[in-house]
Amino acid sequence: MRICDTYGAGFFFIPGTDTCLRIGGYVRMDAYVAQTFGAQTGAYSTRTRLLLNFDARSNTEYGLLRAFGEFLIQRGPLNQTLPTGIAGTGAGTLGQASAAYMSRAFIQFAGFTFGNSASFFNFYQGDLQFVASSGAAMDPSRNSSNLIAYTASFGSGFSATVSVEDPQFRRIGALTTFSAAAGTFTAPAAANGVVYNGQGIPDVVGNLRVDQGWGSAQVMAAFHEVRSTLGGIGRSSTGWAVGGGVRLNLDMLARGDVLWLQAAYTDGALAYAFTNDNSDGLVQTRQTVGVGLLTSTYADGVSNAAGTGLVKSKAWSIHGGFRHFWTPALRSAIWGKYVNVDAPGTAAALANNLNDFRFWQVGVNTIWSPVRNLDLGVEVVYSNLTTRNNLNGGVANGTTIGNANAWSGMFRVQRNF
């Protein structure tokens, strides 16, 4: 085996070729604890994951030719493979399931990117937090998408990208529901939001970005078509999103210290303000956010009162985080998020179950690496959700209207390779 040092550590030549390959990944185990709110809520759950990635690169007369693939196999609660109405071994429990996901698979050549890659709207992707259970609710956009993109580099770290992306990965609408007791599925209800029909126009994403020694910055925008069939006629409306973010390297404090800040605003394209389940390439499996026994339903929009068009939801979000290395083997991070969603008021829209809500979260974690490539971490998270009727505030009932907060925590062991 010959070492290939052209692209950094870990690459080797595939025998008989001029292609360099690196294989990496991790094995991770998470143990999650949460505040309970009655016998129907669980206090403890676990998840184990194996992730592998392959990075193949070679030089050509047109520049770098790269193929990258990443997939993971994990066992944990539901894992998006079981309908959420299915319980485990009793009421209030979730069935454990194994699942395999392809998280990335793309080709890069002459400035183009083809395949399943992180959306070019993404910037800060929750890099400083543990991503699991309630800690992942309303995360910054980290969606992947099937896309075709072109990136132009202008020198000195400046670049611009235009990307055509599959809208399926960004749709948030009414869901098919499953009854475990009856063993039946129910079609999406218009009162729960837009009932999406077939795809028409792809999402179009653009960004301007700079990467230099001090850090990175990006501004981004996206177009998203909201479409449905109303009264037997196809209807559509223009959704859009804008955002910006900055990453500051703070090596003057300690090597590896970093500060992330990002904000986004969306109209009819909520999945650009926060992450949704579609990011794994599966069908949408969630359109609610919950804290304790309080939940709020959201969607990109809903039919208007006359049933002749669509009224869109609006949202804005702020995400950020700061990481500090106390020693090369010990680091801590504090992160936070704030998401505000305004659902269409029922004066203009069909009577619906969508609520306005404000969700915010703060987390603190510490990771100790006793030896190279082994991380032992603990994280504590506080979550708060406030919901109200989107027309008149409504009467607090503790289930769909009101305020709730909760604490949760996680212990993580991860071996990187």
List the chain domain ranges.
25-416
The per-residue pLDDT for 96 is: 58
What is the C-alpha separation between 358 and 397, in angstroms, rounded?
Answer: 17
The per-residue pLDDT for 42 is: 67
Cβ burial, residue 368 (10 Å; 0-12/13-18/19+): middle
Q: Fold for domain 25-416? A: Porin (2.40.160)
The per-residue pLDDT for 248 is: 98
Per DSSP bridges, beta strands 402-416 and 96-109 are unpaired
8 Å CB contact between 220 and 244: yes
Q: pLDDT tens digits for 17-35?
A: 999 999 999 999 999 888 7
The per-residue pLDDT for 243 is: 97
Global pTM reads 0.88
How many DSSP H helices and E strands does the chain contain? 0, 23
Q: pLDDT tens digits for 219-245?
A: 999 999 999 988 788 888 999 999 999
Q: pLDDT tens digits for 297-322?
A: 899 999 988 888 899 999 999 999 99
Neighbouring C-beta atoms of residue 347, cutoff 10 Å: 9
Pull the structure tokens for residue 153: 């580099």
Q: Distance from CA of residue 56 to its chain's centroid?
A: 26
pLDDT-derived band at 51 (thresholds 50, 70, 90) equals very high
**Mean predicted confidence (pLDDT) in 83-101:** 56
Q: Which DSSP letter does residue 3 get?
A: B
The per-residue pLDDT for 60 is: 92
8 Å CB contact between 292 and 405: yes
Mean pLDDT of the chain: 86
Pull the structure tokens for residue 103: 């998280």
